Amino acid sequence: MLHLVDCPLLVPPRMGPDGRARYVMLETLRAYGLDRLTKAGKQPEAAAALAGHALRRQESPGPRPSSRASHGETLKWAERV
């Protein structure tokens, strides 16, 4: 994640409405990626993979970082999941 911020393909974390830090992808990159997936016929497969990942993270055991967790703590948690 930090490498993507350094590139700069992601915007550094900002506080979301729930008080948790969120990375933001540039909309032009998001649109480009979606276009490439769609043209390759892989968009449904990618959407299913993303949904599966989100479900696994939601169901993962163990403590989740609090809304006041540091950026480093949140990254460590995300890497474990």
- Tell me what the mean pLDDT of segment 26-34 comes to: 90
Closest by CA position to 4, among listed 20, 21, 19, 26:
26
Q: Which two tokens stand for residue 1?
A: 């994640």
Structurally, the chain folds into a number of domains equal to: 1
Range of the structural domain that residue 58 is part of? 2-80
- Tell me what the mean pLDDT of segment 20-49 comes to: 91
The 8-class DSSP code of residue 22 comes to: E
pLDDT at 35: 96
Confidence of residue 77 (pLDDT cuts 50, 70, 90): low
pLDDT in tens, 53-75: 888 877 776 666 666 667 677 66
Predicted structure pTM score = 0.54
